[in-house]
Amino acid sequence: MINKDQLLERLDAIGQSLSKTEQTLLLLGLGSVGTELNRLDAYSDLDFFVITKPGFKDRFINDLDWLNHVCPLSYQFRNADVGWKIMFEDGIYGEFAVFEESELDHIPCHGGRIVWCEPGYVPQIATLDQPVSSNRPDSLDFPLNEAVTNLYVGLCRYARGEKMSARTFIESYAMGQVIATLHLHKAELPFDLDPYSNDRRVESRFPDFSVHLSEMLQGYDKIPQSALHILAYIESIYPVNTKLSQEIKSLALHLGATLL
C-alpha cells in the first residue's frame, strides 16, 4: 500500500525532473493530487498534465527518461496520442498527458494544482478556473424513461441467451440513469462530486440509496431479479408506463425471477 505522502513527494520529484530539462513550463496535479487533496488516500494515483514549451511536446511523450530519472518505470502503456498510463517500480501508479499551452483552451483543467512552474512563467490557461459542468439532468423524464427501456431491452437480450449484453443494459445503462437522477429526489451529503462520473462516491453521497445497490446489482446469473428491483425503485419515484412495467415484470418472471 502506498503512503499518500509518497504520492505527493513523487509528484514534486517529477516537477524537479522537468525543471532540469529547460523545455517545460508547468506540471499540473489533477484529481486527488490537484486541488482536492482532501480526497487523497493510500488508494489514490498520480493524475497530471505536463505543459511544454512550443515544439517540445513530442519529446516528452516519446521519451520517458524524465520519469525514469525519478524512479524506474516497471510498466508503461501509451493509451492516447498525448499520454501514458504508468507504474513505477515501487508500485506508484499514474496517468498523464503532455500538451503545449495553446492546446489547453478546450481541455478541462478545473481542479488543477500547480505542482511546479518555470520561474517567471505566468500560466494562461482559461480552463484552470472554469468549473466543468456536471452531467446531471434537471428532470426525471428522460433518464428514467431511458432506464425502463434499458430494462426491457436487457431482458430480451437475456431471453436470447445474451446474458453479458443483458447485464450491461440493466446493471450498467439502466442503473447509470437512475444514479444520475438521485440529486433530484434524495438528500445529497457533502462529498466531492466527480463531474465526469455520477457513480463516484455514490455510497458516501447518497447512503440511503446505496443500501439498495446489492439488490439492484445481483450479477450475471440474476439479471432478471436485478431488473425487478431497479424497476421497483423507479416506480417508487416516477409514474412508469403501465404497459411497459407489466411487460418487464412478465418477462422477468418468465426468465426465473421472483416477484418482489
What pLDDT is stored for residue 195 in this prediction?
62
Q: pLDDT, tens digit, for every residue of 123-141?
A: 877 666 666 556 778 899 9
Cα separation, 41 vs 188, whole angstroms = 22
What mean pLDDT, rounded, does the chain reach?
90
Residue 103 is placed in which grid cell? Answer: 492546446
Residue 249 is placed in which grid cell? Answer: 415484470
End-to-end Cα distance, the chain: 42
Using DSSP, state whether 88 is helix, strand or coil: strand
Across 36-59, average pLDDT? 92
Angle at 216 between CA 238 and CA 250, to 5 degrees: 70
Model-level pTM? 0.78
As a residue count, the chain comes to 260
Q: What share of the chain is helix, strand, coil (3-state, %, to 5)?
A: 50, 15, 35
What pLDDT is stored for residue 84 in this prediction?
97
What pLDDT is stored for residue 112 in this prediction?
87
Percent of the chain with pLDDT over 70: 92
